[in-house]
Amino acid sequence: MIIQSDWHIHSENSYDATLTLEEIARKAKEFGFKRVGITDHANFNDDKFLWDLKSSANSVRTFQKKYPEMILGVELTPIEKPEFDYIKKHGTRQGYVPPVINEPYALELAQTKDQLIGYGVRYAIGAAHWRVDVPFAKGLPVDIDAMIKEWYRQQLWLACDERVTILGHPWYNGKAVWYDDFSIIPRSMNMDIAYALKENKKYVECNEGVLCSQKASEKFRRQYAEFIRELFEMGIPVTYGSDSHKEYACRHIEMEKILADVGFKKGDFSEIKEKDFWG
């Protein structure tokens, strides 16, 4: 079994997930996973997300009494700095209008490392989800080159930020823009990200939702698994993330097969080491 622990799971405390901690623990035992990390979303520094984080922390803390293999993490996503500043000032995202500037927005994450530790969070997944480079980027039509450039910028930034333990789902894309052929991503970008991960002693995630996406071609799956394998061979520890939201780790068996095909064996996937946990 290549997959032995799951470091990326959303519970019902995430706005887009419904899994209970009971269900996660029950399935994890059934699958023989040693440890599970709960990583609910903290996308913005507004009350709603901070409340979700607080309830995630409280639920995990209570649940750990009967299931100590559960660990509290968080999933962070780059947001635009002007929006972060606006929320800090007004307490809400309501009424925010992105300023028009001539360069991509500076990036920020919802909380500082000390704030996260204050919630009891022990590690963070940092992952790119949408464009942050231009005003109202979320609603823009697909522009492949701009998207690749922006994902590269965010991922490289995450690989260098002290709050990120694991670079989550590299090159995940909700619109599946490059899920036919991964070779559209320039190799030089992948190598830059790899060197930054290595230099900063980060982990990289092999994400079930990306590798086994229903939108991904067979070709993409193979290429993407080879990419993860290459990072592993460069000495970057690879963690598994089911990124479950509604059903728990439902494609991990399928994923095992793809991973075995590119040379992964038992023991190749990492646990987060004790020294890398916070608090």
Residues at the site binding Zn ion, with contacts judged by CB under 5 A: 75, 127, 243
Question: Count of H helices and E strands in the chain?
Answer: 9, 10
Closer Cβ to Zn ion, 78 or 237, answer by number: 78
Cβ 169 to Zn ion shortest distance, Å: 6
Closer Cβ to Zn ion, 237 or 241, answer by number: 241
Which residues touch 191 (CB under 8 Å, ≥6 apart)? none
Spell out the alpha helix ranges (H) of the chain: 21-31, 47-63, 81-90, 113-118, 144-159, 187-199, 208-211, 218-233, 252-261
Closer Cβ to Zn ion, 86 or 239, answer by number: 239
Closer Cβ to Zn ion, 7 or 227, answer by number: 7
Report the C-alpha gap between 63 and 58 in whole angstroms: 9
Which tokens is 61 given? 């803390």
Closer Cβ to Zn ion, 37 or 86, answer by number: 37
Which tokens is 251 given? 């494609």
Neighbour tally for 2: CB within 10 Å: 19
Cβ 9 to Zn ion shortest distance, Å: 8
Neighbour tally for 143: CB within 10 Å: 13
Cβ 50 to Zn ion shortest distance, Å: 18
